[in-house]
Amino acid sequence: MSRFLNNALISLDAYTPGEQPRDKAYIKLNTNESPYPPSPETVKAISSAEVSDLNLYPDPTCKELKKALAERYSLNENQVFVSNGSDDILNFAFLAFAGKGGKAYFPDISYGFYEVFCELHGVTANKIPLKQDFSICVDDYFNKSGMVVIANPNAPTGLCLSLEEIKSILDNNSDQVVVIDEAYVDFGGQSAVSLIENYENLLVVETFSKSRSMAGARLGFALGNKELIEDLEKIKYSTNPYSINRLTLIAGVSAIKSDSYYMENCEKIIKTRDFVTKELKNQGFVVLPSSANFIFAKKDGIEGKKLYEALKENGVLVRHFNKERISDFIRITIGTDAEMQSFLQIIKKICEEEIK
């Protein structure tokens, strides 16, 4: 740290992303990426013409991409916001709808970035404990005096709320923005997008990083009523109007055009997830019921950290959170069938050796 850093940021505890090691080839099940490549159309769209135009700025209005997303979600273009990853959008939302001196409410166990954005913007973080079984008690989110943020499905638990439950949270917070982070919704959750027409306080945040195989392109979008979107645009135009590069814009449009390719991949991942869940349970693991592209699992008698380390030694990367209530668990991203077969064999061997 330099002696010049703004006082307000000295204690800021930045988000720690999952490892992206370069030392050797791992079976990489630690950052919830898709194991499948982008669609052939997407790959083709980028490798041609656009690269030679990189000397020119991209379209700051992202017109084509907004149009494609608006059609896909049956909304108007002015109900769509796009930016450089959904983390960027969440950052904007904390700034726009909470801000310095404001408050935000979210579960004690959820996406780690929410807390970081609170610290960054001087927002008071109110962390509401999940129930013993890691589910969300919706009544705890009624009549809050600040922005409510819920990942649905939640991360890293994979559990989800029903549309009725989301609706009740919206009904009971009519003067607050409710952000539903749907990073994993395409893997079996119920999307709140259909509620947008009736709830001016709803902002749904989505990403191309998980279900659309484009974590490396950095592309996220938010859907909500036109005024909320205008607020986000205002922040975008006050920070980085060209936040989405040319190649990513093209990739995004093409990904929406090959939507069925991506949604079929989600179906495959769901099938693999259900298979792995069953197998792990047969091995004596406790596995939370997941609606995401990862599972959260633990086995009595083996610490999560130990399991994580042993898996890494054996060439498998998963995620472990050294955090109260969940330190016994590991989060396992669902890979291809072949990757998961290897994973199941390796984890079985590790557990047998541990217990001996």
Query: CB 3 → ligand PLP: shortest distance, Å?
Result: 32
107/304 with CB nearer ligand PLP: 107
Nearer to ligand PLP, 135 or 283 (CB): 135
**Alpha carbons 219 and 215: distance in angstroms, whole number:** 8
Q: Which amino acid is at 89?
A: I
Residue 86 CB, shortest distance to ligand PLP, in Å, is: 3
The SS3 call for residue 84 is: coil
Considering the complex, what minimum distance in angstroms separates the CB of residue 19 from ligand PLP?
Answer: 15
User: How far apart (Å, rounded) are the C-alpha atoms in residues 181 and 183?
Assistant: 6
What would the DSSP string read from start to end of 217-282? T--EEEEE-HHHHHHHHHHHHHH-TT-S-HHHHHHHHHHHHTHHHHHHHHHHHHHHHHHHHHHHHH
Q: Which is nearer to ligand PLP, 155 or 229 (CB)?
A: 155
Query: How far apart (Å, rounded) are the C-alpha atoms in residues 83 and 232?
Result: 10
Of 144 and 218, nearer to ligand PLP (C-beta) is: 218
Q: What are phi and psi of 126, to 5 degrees?
A: -105, 105
Q: Which is nearer to ligand PLP, 87 or 186 (CB)?
A: 87
At its nearest, how many Å lie between ligand PLP and the CB of residue 307?
21
Q: How far apart are CA 28 and CA 293, in angstroms?
A: 13
* Half-sphere CA count of 231, side-chain side, radius 13 A: 21
Give the residues lining the site for ligand PLP (CB under 6 A): 32, 85-87, 111, 151, 155, 181, 183, 207, 209, 215, 220
List Cβ<8 Å contacts ≥24 apart for 322-331.
323/109, 325/108, 325/109, 326/109, 326/156, 326/296, 327/303, 328/298, 328/303, 328/304, 329/156, 329/296, 329/297, 329/298, 329/304, 330/296, 330/297, 330/298, 330/304, 331/30, 331/156, 331/294, 331/295, 331/296
Please report the beta strands in the chain, taking only residues with DSSP state E, as ranges in sequence order: 27-28, 80-83, 103-107, 124-128, 147-151, 178-181, 202-207, 220-224, 286-287, 294-298, 316-317, 330-333
Task: Report the nearest approach of ligand PLP to the CB of residue 18 (Å).
Answer: 10
- Closer residue to ligand PLP (CB): 213 or 350: 213
Q: What backbone phi and psi angles, to 5 degrees, belong to 310? A: -65, -40
Q: Considering the complex, state which of residue 85 and residue 335 has its C-beta at the smaller distance from ligand PLP.
A: 85
Q: How far is the CB of 186 from ligand PLP (least distance, A)?
A: 12
CB of 300 to ligand PLP, least distance (A): 27
Q: Which is nearer to ligand PLP, 94 or 111 (CB)?
A: 111
For the CB of residue 209, give the shortest distance to ligand PLP in the complex, in Å.
3
Closer by beta carbon to ligand PLP, 18 or else 315 = 18
Q: How far is the CB of 205 from ligand PLP (least distance, A)?
A: 7
The residues pairing with 294 across neighbouring beta strands, listed in sequence order, are 333
